[in-house]
Structure 1
Amino acid sequence: MENQNKYWLIPFSFAVIIVFALVVYVFYEIGIDKRVEEMRIKAEEMALEGNFDAALNLVKSGLALRPNHKVLQQDLTLINFGKTLYQKLETAKKDADDKEFDKALETVSTVEKELENRNGEYFDMLRKLVNKYKGEIEVKQIYYLVADKNTIDELADALSRLAYIDNPEAKKVDKLIREKIVNIAYSTANEMLKDKQYNKALEVIEKALQYDSSNDKLISFKKTIIEQKTAFEKAEAQRMEEALIAAAQEEAINRTNAVRVLSIKGYTNEYGDLIIEGEIENVAKRPIYAVEVYYNIYDADGNVVGYGSAYVYPSYLMPLQRGSFSNMHYGIFNAAHVTVTRVTWYLN
C-alpha cells in the first residue's frame, strides 16, 4: 500500500513542477510585456520631443523582445519618417549657412508638402519644427540681403518681412536693422545739417523715429537740429552775422577750453560693424550745446582708415556735466584705435 502511495506522488510532483513552470513563464512574459510597453511610451515621449535617435533605440530594443509588436512597428516607421525630415531640415540649414537660401527654402517647402494631410500630435510637433527652421532660414536671408542696404525704405521693407516671423533670431535681427536705420538717419541728417538743410534733416530723423520712437540718440539729435535751425533763423532775421562772427572770435579761447574728452574707444560687434563710443565733460563756466566730436580711425600701422563725427547727447550740457557720443561704421575691419581730432560746440 505504501508503494502505491509513492507511485501516486510522482505524477503529482510532475504536475506541480509543470504548473510552477507555467506560472513562472506567464509572469516572465508579463514582465517582458510591461518592459516593452514602458519602452514604447518612453520612445513616443522622446519622439514628441524631437529626440529621434533615442526614440529609435528604444523602439528597436522593444522589437528585439517582441518582434511582432504592431504598435512598435508603426512607431518605428513614424520615427524614421520624422528623423528623415529632421535630416532634410538640417541640410537646409547648412545650405542657408552657405548663402544658398533658395535651395534651403525649396527643401523646407518639400518637407512641408510631406506633412500635408497628416494629423496628430506627432505631426503637429514636426510642423512646429519645420516652422522653426523655416523662420531661421528666412531671417538669415533677410539679414544677408540688407547687409548692403543703406536707405531707410529698403530696411523698412525688411522689417515688414520680419514682422511675420516669430522666433528669437527674428527679434534680434529686427533690433539690428532698427539700429542701422538710426545710424543711417543720423549720418544722413548730419550731412544735411552741415549744409544748413534743417527741414530735410528733421524729415529724415522723423522718418527714423517711426521705427524707434524712444531712441535717445535720435531724440537728442532732433533737438540739436531744431536748436541750430532756430539759431540760424534768428541770426538771419536779426542780421547778426557779423556780430556772431566777432563773438565767435572773441570766445575762441573759451571754445578751445570748454570741452574735455574723457574717453573714446572703438570695438567691433559680432556682425563686424565698428562701434565708436566716448564721453566728454563741459569744463566751461557756461552751458554749451550742439557739441560735435570729430575723430580719425587708424589701423595698427598708424594709417587713417576712416573718420567721422558724432553729436553729444544730451545736447545741452551744464558746467561740469558729462555727455556721451556714439557712432557706427560699416566695412572697416582693420581698426586698431581711434583719436579725437577736434571738438566743436556752441556756448549759451
Structure 2
Amino acid sequence: MQVVHSPLHARHDGGVELHRGELVPMYESPDRIDHILRAVQAAGMPVIEPREFGFEVLHAVHDPAFVEFLRTAYPRWQAEGRGGSMLPSGFPARSLRRDRVPEGINGMMGYYAFDAGTPIVAGTWDAAFAAARCALTAAALVSEGARAAYALCRPPGHHAARSVYGGYCYLNNAALAAQALRDAGCARVAVLDIDYHHGNGTQDIFWWREDVFFASLHGTPETEYPYFLGFADERGAGEGEGRTLNLPLPRGTQWPAYEGALDVALRAIDTFGADALVVSLGVDTFEGDPISSFALDASHFVAIGERMAALRLPTVLVQEGGYAVEEIGANVGAVLAAFA
C-alpha cells in the first residue's frame, strides 16, 4: 500500500486551544505524524509526496468564499500587527444573524469557525492544503487501479463542513477523496468514519447526496464532541434520505459493542452497493487516548482492518484523529497491515 505524506504538515505548529476552560498546547501536534511515518516505513510501505493541484479543486466540496478565508486569514491577521494563534471570540449562535459575513478578520473568524479549539497559525494553510493534496493523490492512485492507498493527512479533516472549520480540521480530506473518486467514474462511494468523534463535516457535505453513503461510529453527542450532530435519527435529506447512518456509542464502549456497530455499518455499505470506499481513519478509540473515552486495544485495530478489507472495495484510507502519541504509530500500522 502506498502512503502519501507531505512534510508541510509540520508548518501547522505552535497553536493553543481552549480545552475545558483552559488555554493549552494543541493535542493535535506534529509528532503524531512522526510516529505514524516511522511505523509505515518500518513496515516497508512506500512513502510518496502528494501531486500538485490548484486550490480551486477544493471548491468541489467547500464554498469558494470559505476557501478564500482560509487562504488569506493569517496574512490579514498579520496585517493588523498580530501574531501567534488566531482563535475566535464570538459565534453567530441562536438569535444572532447568520446571513452576513463580517468584513473584519475577528468577526469573519467567528463566522467560519464552530469552536475555539482550532487555531490558525502562520503555516496552517500550507499544511491544510498539503493534507488535502495527500487525500486527492491517494484517491487518484486508487482510481488508477491501486487496491488501496493511505493518505497520511495532517491536519485532519472530517469536522470541516462546506463552509465551517473546527475540531482541528480546516479542509475535509475524506470528502475531497470521495468526490475525486466520483469524478473519476465511481458511481457510488461510501465513507466510513471510525474516528471517536462524529464526522459532522462529512455528513454536512453529503447530506443531500444520493451517490455518497456516510456511516459513522462515534462517541454519543449527548456527552461527546462535537455535541450537536451525530444522533441516530440523522439520516440525510432529499435525495440523500437514508444515505447517512449514525451509530453513536456511550463513553466506555468496549470491543463487543463496537464490533457490533462496525458490522452494522459494513453491512449497510455492502447493501448500498458502493464502487469504492473512503475510510476516515481515527484511532482515538484507543483506551489510552487523552481526549476520548472508548476502550479498544491494539488487537482490535487489527480486527478493524480485517473487517474493512473484507468488503473488497478499492479503498482510500485518510488519517484523522488519535492523540495517544506514543501508541498512534502502532495503532495505525495495525489497521493498515491487517487491511493489506
Bin of the TM-score, shorter chain as denominator length: under 0.3
Larger radius of gyration: 1
Identify, as 1 or 2, the structure richer in helix: 1
Q: What's the TM-score once normalised by structure 2's chain length?
A: 0.23
TM-score by length of 1: 0.22
Higher relative contact order (CA 8 A, sep 6+): 2
